[in-house]
Amino acid sequence: MNPVLRDVDERAQLAGTNKFELLVFRLGTDAHSGSRELFGINVFKVREALVMPRITPMPGAPQHVLGVANIRGQILPVIDLPAVVGCAVEERNILLVTEYERSVQGFAVEDVDEIVRLEWSRVLSAEGAAVGGLVTSLARLDEDEETSRLALVLDVEQILRQVLPSRFRNGDELSVQSVVKIPPGSVILYADDSGVARHQIEKALTALGLPFIATKTGREAWDRLLELASAAKAAGVPIRNRVALVLTDLEMPEMDGFTLTRKIKENESLRDLPVVIHSSLSGSANEAHAHGVGADGYVAKFSPDDLARAVVRAIAP
């Protein structure tokens, strides 16, 4: 077996503040361009990679679901990832078993190429790049910016809601009824690079009656916070009169949520801001690391009630 596959579980434990590992794979030939592009997802999301097991077709399965696989006693739906992104492929050789938002599923792919350790600064937002709604960012795999290969980092949250909508919540199910008071003129500033996640967050914050500012990367959030801190200082008011709370994803182009949180807590003007990390990266190790960089809360995606409780708890501890 390819040694890359044997190493996925072990290397998925990597924890850092501004680095991550990208699992790079291929999905076949693009139906329109005829090219064979590289795709990627964060190794943290991959439980394991297997030579394709037996797939049992299921009558009435959703489009792009090949069937189910029995992985050590757990029955998982298997999503045909080449078909989702519009690639033609002869063989689906590898099954990526992934965990997103407390749900486990398999993605059928053509083959795995490599695992690349990257700085988040080498991952660029795909917003406005005309690469389609299923791609959140573009990762430069090599050091030379001009000649580097690019990997398309998939918006798995969007794909899962498109293929298996019944498994995931969209923000309408908020049952927590809380009155949250923040200073007049203050807002929740949140950062998330996924369009579907931003939609969910905004529904939950709106249901709580909380105004918000949306940002799409850690870098954008940081720049906006510095602007707000400068405005608060000029007005002679505390930063909490401008920002009541920062809500941040972990995986984002340019600057990750760990780094954003650490920078906030190290900055004299911003350190009093409560920060809640909101991520599909579950697990005690990530939660412990979040608290290690100063986060005031950690909530796994996506439960509207859990998010509401975390926000309320951080604003009014």
What span, in angstroms and rounded, lies between the C-alpha atoms of 119 and 143? 10
pLDDT in tens, 117-162: 999 989 998 875 545 578 989 999 998 888 999 999 998 888 988 9
**Quick one: average pLDDT of 30-43?**
90
pTM higher than the cut 0.85? no
* pLDDT band for position 115 (cuts 50, 70, 90): very high
Higher local confidence (pLDDT), 287 or 283: 287
User: What's the mean pLDDT when you consider all of the chain?
Assistant: 87
Mean pLDDT of 228-245: 97
Mean pLDDT score, 250-259: 90
